[in-house]
Amino acid sequence: MLLLFRYCFFLTLILTGMPLASQTKGIPPTQLYIDNLFKITEVMVTDVASPPAAARFYAYTTLAAHLAWELAENKHLDNSLANHINSKPEINFEIPENIDPYFCAVFAMLEVGSQIMPSGASLSQAKSELEKDYVKSKKLKKQHLEHNKKFALQVATTVMVKAKNDNYAQLSTLTRYSPKKGEGYWYPTPPAYMAAVEPEWRTITPFFLDELSNFKPTPPAVFSLDEESSFHRQMTEVYEVTSQLSNEQKLIANFWDCNPFMVQYSGHMAIGIKKISPGGHWIGITGIAAQQANLDWNETLYIHALVAAGLHDAFISCWEEKYDSDRIRPESAITKYLDNNWRPLLQTPPFPEYTSGHSVVSTLSSVILTDFFGENFEFIDTSEVYFGLPERAFGSFEEAAAEAAISRLYGGIHFRDAIEEGVVQGRKIGKMILEKVKGHEALVQH
């Protein structure tokens, strides 16, 4: 048996996809930012970052870019997103003159990525390329390079101080999770039977949430084998829907799968299929919308940082409920009580079922993006092209989020109430975040 990577039985899948720009000369700053943010995504995919962890990485890296720009361009954080988050970063260094805000924003983002992710050191090449390209294109004089790097590193250090105090480092010291005994509770699922992922994520410090209890969803349907019970009806629904999926429903399920833990077996060898996380998918959509709307640099950095921080908090809220309700997955329930030969279209992720994470974070993202870009913002989602899936057109962010939510039923990995209550949960968090930042100058009508 081949044993690779940190979660269990993974073999690196060589990915091919869209080429990224390698020179800064002639590249719009927005594209430069998005290209380098994707390099951070690639590291997350390599590390098999869990969905909550990936959202955390996006939150701090995009925050660093946003803060570096605000400080370099405006010399203060008066109009920064930092004014609206918990534990505002403290700036205790001088802000120099004559620095390139574009370079510093991207370099600070990459530096935080290099420090915060397990394989972040691999971003050293991206930082080196950024330096060389800026000097070669004469956007930055060689004698000013160290001056700019020092400032970007100071911003990155400030962000990392916040990151190091969000309780992430303490996760490994907490009591190890064990599946509960009894009917209706979650337990590991095939094919890898992986242990529960991030059971204590509720202890991570949020960016916006004050009390997790304020966003607690309605309790899930009580486990019951009574054919008239809500649970049994929902279990039967998953079984029946997945038994007669149309080609379009299968396409939808696979497009929104976003499962970084997917494993396929070939004999005794287990192959980890690399996929983007749900948060990564919506960060991709944010970049697509930013480019389509021709946002300027400031707006691009702002909306990415806002969506990423929202994703971070949405996962904290969702994961608290997952391990509170600790509900069994459809795969475990259906194979035990209805049909031992049934298998879901998608591979079941390694954590409890209620609420649906994709439903929560997709709705949260659509609420924020709709407020920023407007309703009925049409776009073509190419986020999954790199991972071998076709592009998909949507008439609005709400339409995309609704499709992401129902995809979990088509995939056979969630019951309906987890999907519907996840949508409610995500919408509530999104509206709260908008209320907190509504006065920010970047939230203009688009």
Q: What is the pLDDT of residue 217?
A: 98
Same domain for 228 and 165: no
Give me the mean pLDDT over the 316-327 stretch.
Answer: 98
Q: Is residue 257 classed as helix, strand or coil in its secondary structure?
A: coil
Q: What is the pLDDT of residue 442?
A: 40
Is the model's pLDDT at 277 over the cut of 50? Answer: yes
Which pLDDT band holds residue 192 (cuts at 50, 70, 90)?
A: confident
Same domain for 102 and 231: no
> Residue 14 falls within a domain, yes or no?
no
Q: What is the pLDDT of residue 272?
A: 55
> Residue 323 falls within a domain, yes or no?
yes
Structural domain tally of the chain?
2
Same domain for 255 and 159: no
Residue 235 domain boundaries: 224-437
Q: What is the pLDDT of residue 275?
A: 81
Q: What is the pLDDT of residue 15?
A: 32
8-state DSSP, 122: G
Choose between 136 and 283: higher pLDDT. Answer: 283
Comparing 21-25, 76-80, 344-348, 359-363, the range with the smallest average pLDDT is 21-25
Q: State the Cα–Cα distance between residues 43 and 38, nearest whole angstrom.
A: 9
Q: What is the pLDDT of residue 137?
A: 78
Which pLDDT band holds residue 77 (cuts at 50, 70, 90)?
A: confident
Return the amino acid letter for 412: G
Q: State the Cα–Cα distance between residues 147 and 312, nearest whole angstrom.
A: 32
Domain boundary among 134, 169, 204: 169
Domain boundary among 132, 154, 169: 169
DSSP 182-247: STTB----TTT-PPPS-TTGGGSPPSS-S-GGGGPPPPPPPP---TTSHHHHHHHHHHHHHTT--H
**Total-model pTM:** 0.91
Q: What are phi and psi of 272, to 5 degrees?
A: -85, 120
Same domain for 235 and 88: no
Is the model's pLDDT at 89 over the cut of 80? Answer: yes
Same domain for 244 and 157: no
Q: How many residues does the chain have?
A: 446
> Residue 373 falls within a domain, yes or no?
yes
Same domain for 142 and 230: no
Is the model's pLDDT at 10 over the cut of 60? Answer: no
Q: Are 102 and 66 in contact (CB under 8 A)?
A: no
Same domain for 255 and 141: no
Q: What is the pLDDT of residue 260?
A: 83
Q: Any idea what the CATH number is for the domain that residue 246 is in? A: 1.10.606.20
Comparing 35-39, 212-216, 280-284, 435-439, the range with the smallest average pLDDT is 435-439
Partners of residue 185 on adjacent β-strands: 327
Is the model's pLDDT at 309 over the cut of 90? Answer: yes
Q: Are 344 and 246 in contact (CB under 8 A)?
A: no
Same domain for 239 and 148: no
> Residue 189 falls within a domain, yes or no?
no
Q: What is the pLDDT of residue 344?
A: 97
Give me the mean pLDDT over the 77-105 stretch.
Answer: 89
Same domain for 163 and 239: no
pLDDT tens digit sequence for 204-231? 999 999 999 999 999 999 999 999 999 9
> Residue 200 falls within a domain, yes or no?
no
Give me the mean pLDDT over the 143-158 stretch.
Answer: 93
Q: What is the pLDDT of residue 4?
A: 32
> Residue 284 falls within a domain, yes or no?
yes
Name residues whose C-beta falls within 8 Å of residue 168's C-beta, 6 or more positions apart in sequence. 56, 204
Comparing 61-65, 189-193, 248-252, 284-288, the range with the smallest average pLDDT is 189-193
Q: What is the pLDDT of residue 136?
A: 78
Same domain for 229 and 358: yes
> Residue 176 falls within a domain, yes or no?
no
> Residue 120 falls within a domain, yes or no?
yes
Is the model's pLDDT at 8 over the cut of 50? Answer: no
pLDDT tens digit sequence for 415-427? 999 999 999 999 9
- In a 13 Å sphere around the CA of 215, the CA atoms on its Cβ side amount to 31
Which pLDDT band holds residue 20 (cuts at 50, 70, 90)?
A: very low
Domain boundary among 137, 169, 201: 169
Same domain for 152 and 86: yes
Same domain for 272 and 151: no
Quick one: 151 exposed, middle or buried, by C-beta within 10 A (0-12, 13-18, 19+)?
buried
First to last CA, the chain: 54
Choose between 91 and 196: higher pLDDT. Answer: 196
Give me the mean pLDDT over the 135-156 stretch.
Answer: 86
Quick one: 46 exposed, middle or buried, by C-beta within 10 A (0-12, 13-18, 19+)?
middle
Give me the mean pLDDT over the 280-291 stretch.
Answer: 97
Q: What is the pLDDT of residue 265?
A: 57
Q: What is the pLDDT of residue 431?
A: 97
Q: What are phi and psi of 361, to 5 degrees?
A: -75, -30
Average of per-residue pLDDT values in the chain: 89
